């Protein structure tokens, strides 16, 4: 149990030819005691490097990492009281499960052999791996190995758990199951956990908070719903959510009365005053809207009143997933822009249909076209269930 | 119906000709015959010779076979000395080579793993022929002006007659052989080390192991298969150290204290024309080699690697 603080942590790798690569760029995160923090981002964003710096496997170029107010920058891994679960599990192949689990306690504590044996057996029982204790890793299935790797970390009773994509080698079903189990385990143990993944579903479902990294820079730290509904920038908006948010490059045109019109290739979208205030005098903008926030309606049905929030579209592909359909649209008359919409799984809509897409104003996000920074986010309180889309 | 039996015979022949073993024989039969004749038949003939009293010129007499050569071995003090020396060479050379090779491999592996540069300098001695190394070490060990004596002379020790003194000669030979072979052992270990993922090192470090403990408990145990195969090769080389000794001592009469079974075998046969006695020594050597290789093959067989 410990509070962990990353303070302007920086990692620079120097290549053989003297080139410097900034892998982690002044990242600051305060991880509370007992918190489950997920570090998420695309490959090469520096999330694993950050984790490895906390573990002591990678030196810290600049900045400080503190564990309960103690700077651990130069402490060897042994003295950090941290346990790590590796993506490959990294079980020692020549040792039995029991020996694998005891190894960390033997190396990092002064416990007697009896105490170690007791703790290993207790943890194994809790994890349900006690029948496997005398087997070697090669005799275990992937799921069992994963469990042993977790057990090996838990038995140490560390201050912080570090997990580097621990579920990525499991099949989809087992992964979903382990996701829940890991969360329950973490709640039960109340141990601070830093979890690295590139899978935004894992990040959304598991984390108390998630920290999104891109190109070594921290984009946003927040609860999953904050990051989903109030992304700090277009990157976060794009990364969190599946299917991803729709983006349209637009410019601003002042309307006759109040508000303004955001003009894109196929879109002419009227926005009200509070949004124009948020936009200020910026002209290059990006309009974003989540797939589930767009309504579509057959164009031959009851025509929706033209409120400046609709655009004609053609359905190109429909992917049914059961509970919902993912619909791909070509927008405008010439279909030069595309959008993805998710609608109820029972709706009848087919490829080739002509539809009208309605983008409600309270669901839109507006980003600065140059800095990608969020200027306006959707209103969260208005997200009560709406009428079926069609 | 009268020729039913013939049909049956023909179909049996047909079936026999169609069987996998006959159909595949062009592939396995030639090497099988060559190996059988030149290796296994030769071993068999050698066994037969060792039971005769064949010596000098003439032909062996196969009518009176017996174990007298083996009995003679028991009474031959030279035989005991050679066997003892063979074992000392075998064990000393193998163990030292394994340890030196392991240390070199671990050092070099850290270098490669952590800074990505590579040196082949350690393997160079292995590329040299025995004849070259032998000549080279003869100069090194020279009593009057060899580098070894010059060097220890700086500390006021020596000079020693490294290759002349019966007490020192075997150690000197082992040292030279270790110099030549530890590079090979290192390469075997290095290959095994390269196949251990970085995760293993990192997991051990996060688990709190110091560098020495990490190697001792996590990395070195994983080198066991490499160690086994290196040991087998080294032991076989040690049993055949003949050419090194031949080159070092200008023939198959090594100094007292450095005679091994291989040199004695050749000396008895081709020096003294005691063909039968030489054959029985050869068979001893064969049994020893088998004693080394059989457990290894059995182990491989059990693991399904054969």
Measure CB to CB from residue A108 to each of B203, B207, B222 and give the nearest one. B207
User: What is d(CA B76, CA B73) in angstroms, rounded to the nearest whole number?
Assistant: 5
Beta-ladder partners of A251? A263, A284
Q: Is residue B92 situated within a structural domain? A: yes
Q: Is residue B16 situated within a structural domain? A: no
pLDDT higher than 70, residue B302: yes
Q: Is residue B208 situated within a structural domain? A: yes
pLDDT higher than 60, residue B4: no
User: What is the 3 state secondary structure string of chain A?
Assistant: CCCEEEEEEEEEEECCCCCEEEEEEEEEEEECCCCEEEEECCCCCCHHHHHHHHHCCCCCCEEEEEECCEECCCCCHHHHCEEEECCCCCCCCCCCHHHHHHHHHHHHCCCCHHHHHHHHHHHHHHHCCHHHCCCCHHHCCHHHHHHHHHHHHHCCCCCEEEEECCCCCCCHHHHHHHHHHHHHHHHHHCCEEEEEECCHHHHHHHCCEEEEEECCEEEEEECHHHHHHCCCEHHHHHHCCCCCCEEEEEEEEECCCCCEEEECCCCEEEECHHHHHHHCCCCEEEEEECHHHCEEEECCCCCCCCCCCEEEEEEEEEEECCCEEEEEEEECCCCCEEEEEEEECCCCCCCCCEEEEECCHHHCEEEECCCCEEEECCCHHHCCCCCCCC
Q: What share of chain B is helix, strand, coil (3-state, %, to 5)?
A: 75, 0, 25
* Residues constituting chain A: 390
What pLDDT does B8 receive? 64
CA gyration radius, chain A: 25
Q: Does B7 touch chain A (CB under 8 A)?
A: no
Compare all CA atoms of chain A with the CA of B197 and give the residue at the minimum distance: A90
Q: Is residue B80 situated within a structural domain? A: no
Instruction: Note the pLDDT tens digit of each residue in B54-75.
Output: 887 777 777 878 888 888 888 8
Average pLDDT, chain A: 88
**pLDDT-above-90 percentage for chain A:** 48
Domain covering A4-237: architecture: 3-Layer(aba) Sandwich (3.40)
Phi/psi-derived region of residue B261, left when phi > 0, alpha when psi is between -120 and 50, beta in every other case: alpha
Nearest CA to A325 among A351, A343, A339? A343
Q: Check B206 against A93: CB less than 8 A apart.
A: no
What pLDDT does A279 receive? 86
Q: What is the CATH number of the domain that holds B147?
A: 1.10.3720.10
Q: Check A104 against B207: CB less than 8 A apart.
A: yes
Q: Check B203 against A56: CB less than 8 A apart.
A: no
CA B254 to chain centre: 19
Mean pLDDT, residues B192-218: 90
Q: Does B222 touch chain A (CB under 8 A)?
A: yes
Measure CB to CB from residue A92 to each of B202, B208, B218 and give the nearest one. B218
Restricting to B residues 185-214, those with a Cβ less than 8 Å away from any Cβ of A are: 197, 199-200, 202-210, 213
Pairing of the two strands A217-222 and A246-254: unpaired
Compare all CA atoms of chain B with the CA of A93 and give the residue at the minimum distance: B222
Beta-carbon contacts of A90 under 8 Å, excluding residues fewer than 6 positions away, are A149, B197, B199, B200, B202, B203
Nearest CA to B226 among B193, B198, B178? B193
Phi/psi-derived region of residue A150, left when phi > 0, alpha when psi is between -120 and 50, beta in every other case: alpha
Contacts of B112 in chain A (CB under 8 A): none
Q: Is residue B29 situated within a structural domain? A: no
Q: Is residue B25 situated within a structural domain? A: no
Query: A-side interface with B, Cβ within 8 Å?
Result: 16, 52, 55-57, 76-78, 82-84, 86, 88, 90-94, 103-104, 107-109, 152, 156, 162
Q: Is residue B50 situated within a structural domain? A: no
**Which residue in the block uniquely carries the two structure tokens 């086994």?**
B228
Domain count, chain B: 1
pLDDT higher than 60, residue A28: yes
Name the strands in the sheet holding A4-14, side by side, starting at the edge strand that comes first in the sequence: A20-31, A4-14, A62-67, A70-71
Tokens of B134: 């032998």
Compare all CA atoms of chain B with the CA of A15 and give the residue at the minimum distance: B115
Nearest CA to B90 among B254, B241, B298? B241
Q: Which has the minimum average pLDDT: A297-306, B32-41, B57-66, B236-245?
A: A297-306
Q: How many CB pairs under 8 A join A and B?
A: 64
Compare all CA atoms of chain B with the CA of A58 and give the residue at the minimum distance: B202
pLDDT higher than 70, residue B116: no
Mutate to test the interface with A, among B118, B208, B211 (most CBs of A within 10 A): B208
User: What is d(CA B272, CA A4) in angstroms, rounded to the nearest whole number?
Assistant: 83
Instruction: Note the pLDDT tens digit of each residue in A33-63.
Output: 999 999 999 988 999 999 999 998 889 999 9
Q: Chain B: give the shortest CA distance to residue A174, in Å.
A: 23
Contacts of A16 in chain B (CB under 8 A): 116
Where in chain A are the domains?
A: 4-237, 245-382
Tokens of A126: 């809790």
Q: Chain A: give the shortest CA distance to residue B222, in Å.
A: 6
Tokens of A316: 């190109």
pLDDT higher than 50, residue A384: no
**Which residue in the block uniquely carries the two structure tokens 């150690």?**
B171
Q: Long-range pairs for A99-105 at CB < 8 Å and ≥24 separation?
A: A100/A137, A100/A148, A100/A152, A101/A148, A101/A151, A101/A152, A101/A155, A102/A155, A103/A152, A103/B204, A103/B207, A103/B209, A103/B217, A103/B218, A104/A152, A104/A155, A104/A156, A104/B206, A104/B207, A104/B208, A105/A155, A105/A156
Measure CB to CB from residue A107 to each of B200, B202, B213 and give the nearest one. B213
Q: Check A83 against B206: CB less than 8 A apart.
A: yes
Measure CB to CB from residue A57 to each of B200, B202, B213 and give the nearest one. B202
- Helical axes B130-140 vs B169-194, angle rounded to 10°: 130
CATH code for residues A245-382: 2.40.50.140
Q: Check A86 against B199: CB less than 8 A apart.
A: yes
**Which residue in the block uniquely carries the two structure tokens 């797939």?**
A291
Nearest CA to A349 among A320, A383, A378? A320
Q: Check A107 against B209: CB less than 8 A apart.
A: yes
What pLDDT does B305 receive? 65
Containing domain of residue B117, as a range? Answer: 88-254
Q: Check A16 against B200: CB less than 8 A apart.
A: no
Restricting to B residues 115-154, those with a Cβ less than 8 Å away from any Cβ of A are: 116
Instruction: Note the pLDDT tens digit of each residue in A167-198.
Output: 988 888 889 888 999 999 898 889 999 999 99
ipTM of predicted complex: 0.81
Measure CB to CB from residue B202 to each of A83, A90, A91 and give the nearest one. A90
Pairing of the two strands A62-67 and A70-71: antiparallel
User: What is d(CA A201, CA A194) in angstroms, rounded to the nearest whole number?
Assistant: 16
Q: Chain A: give the shortest CA distance to residue B123, in Å.
A: 26
Q: Is residue B293 situated within a structural domain? A: no
Contacts of B203 in chain A (CB under 8 A): 84, 86, 90-92
Mean pLDDT, residues A348-367: 89
User: What is d(CA A22, CA A9) in angstroms, rounded to the nearest whole number?
Assistant: 11
Compare all CA atoms of chain B with the CA of A155 and give the residue at the minimum distance: B207
Instruction: Note the pLDDT tens digit of each residue in B117-167.
Output: 555 666 677 777 888 888 888 888 888 888 888 888 888 777 777 887 777
Measure CB to CB from residue A55 to each of B200, B206, B221 and give the nearest one. B206
User: What is d(CA A193, CA A160) in angstroms, rounded to the nearest whole number?
Assistant: 6
Task: Sort A181 into a burial class: Cβ within 10 Å, 0-12 / 13-18 / 19+.
Answer: middle
């Amino acid at each position: 149990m410990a509070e962990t603080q990353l303070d302007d942590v920086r990692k620079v790798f120097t290549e053989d030819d003297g080139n410097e690569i900034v892998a982690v760029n002044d990242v600051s995160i305060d991880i509370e005691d007992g918190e489950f923090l997920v570090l998420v981002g695309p490959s090469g964003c520096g999330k694993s490097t950050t984790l490895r710096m906390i573990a002591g496997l990678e030196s810290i170029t600049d900045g400080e990492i503190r564990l309960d107010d103690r700077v651990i920058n130069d402490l060897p891994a042994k003295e950090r009281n941290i346990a790590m679960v590796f993506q490959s599990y990294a079980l020692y192949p020549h040792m039995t499960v029991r020996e694998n689990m005891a190894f960390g306690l033997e190396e990092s504590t002064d416990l007697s052999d009896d105490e170690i044996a007791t703790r290993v057996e207790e943890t194994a029982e809790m994890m349900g791996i006690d029948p496997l204790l005398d087997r070697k890793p090669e005799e275990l299935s992937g799921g069992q190995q994963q469990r042993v790797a977790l057990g090996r970390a838990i038995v140490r009773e560390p201050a912080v758990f570090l997990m580097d994509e621990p579920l990525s080698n499991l099949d989809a079903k087992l992964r979903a199951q382990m996701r829940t189990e890991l969360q329950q385990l973490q709640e039960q143990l109340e141990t601070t956990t830093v979890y690295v993944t590139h899978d935004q579903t894992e990040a959304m479902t598991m984390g108390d908070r998630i920290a999104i990294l891109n190109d070594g820079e921290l984009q946003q730290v927040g609860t999953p719903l904050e990051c989903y509904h109030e992304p700090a920038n277009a990157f976060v908006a794009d990364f969190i959510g599946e299917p991803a948010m729709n983006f349209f490059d637009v410019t601003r045109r002042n309307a006759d009365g109040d508000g303004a019109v955001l003009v894109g290739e196929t879109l002419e979208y009227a926005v009200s005053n509070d949004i124009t205030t948020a936009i200020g005098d910026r002209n290059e903008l990006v309009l974003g809207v989540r797939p589930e926030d767009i309504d579509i309606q057959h164009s031959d049905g009851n025509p929706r009143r033209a409120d400046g929030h609709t655009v004609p579209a053609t359905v190109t592909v429909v992917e049914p997933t059961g509970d919902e359909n993912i619909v791909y649209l070509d927008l405008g008359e010439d279909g030069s822009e595309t959008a993805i919409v998710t609608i109820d799984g029972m709706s009848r809509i087919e490829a080739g249909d002509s539809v009208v897409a309605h983008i409600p104003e309270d669901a839109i996000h507006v980003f600065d076209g140059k800095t990608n920074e969020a200027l306006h986010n959707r209103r969260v309180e208005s997200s009560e269930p709406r009428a079926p889309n069609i | 119906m009268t020729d039913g039996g013939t049909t049956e015979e023909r179909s049996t022949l047909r079936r026999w000709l169609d069987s996998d073993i006959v159909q595949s024989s062009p592939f396995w039969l030639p090497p099988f015959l060559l190996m059988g004749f030149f290796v296994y038949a030769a071993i068999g003939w050698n066994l037969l010779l060792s039971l005769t009293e064949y010596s000098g010129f003439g032909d062996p007499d196969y009518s009176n076979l017996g174990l007298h050569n083996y009995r003679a071995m028991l009474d031959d003090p030279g035989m005991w000395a050679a066997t003892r020396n063979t074992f000392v060479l075998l064990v000393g050379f193998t163990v030292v080579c394994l340890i030196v090779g392991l240390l070199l491999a671990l050092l070099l592996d850290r270098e490669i793993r952590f800074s990505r540069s590579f040196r082949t300098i350690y393997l160079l001695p292995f590329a040299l022929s025995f004849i070259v190394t032998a000549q080279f070490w003869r100069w090194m060990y020279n009593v009057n002006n060899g580098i070894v004596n010059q060097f220890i002379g700086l500390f006021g020790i020596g000079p020693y007659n490294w290759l002349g003194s019966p007490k020192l000669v075997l150690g000197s030979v082992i040292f030279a052989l270790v110099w030549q072979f530890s590079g090979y052992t290192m390469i075997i270990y290095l290959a095994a080390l390269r196949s251990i993922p970085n995760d293993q090192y990192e997991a051990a470090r996060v688990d709190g192991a110091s560098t020495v403990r990490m190697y001792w408990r996590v990395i070195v145990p994983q080198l066991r298969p490499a160690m086994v195969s290196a040991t087998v090769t080294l032991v076989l080389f040690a049993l055949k150290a003949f050419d090194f000794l031949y080159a070092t001592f200008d023939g198959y009469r090594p100094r007292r204290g450095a005679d091994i079974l291989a040199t004695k075998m050749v000396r008895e046969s081709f020096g003294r024309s005691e063909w039968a006695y030489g054959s029985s020594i050869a068979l001893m050597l064969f049994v020893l080699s088998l004693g080394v290789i059989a457990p290894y093959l059995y182990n491989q067989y059990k693991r399904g690697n054969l």
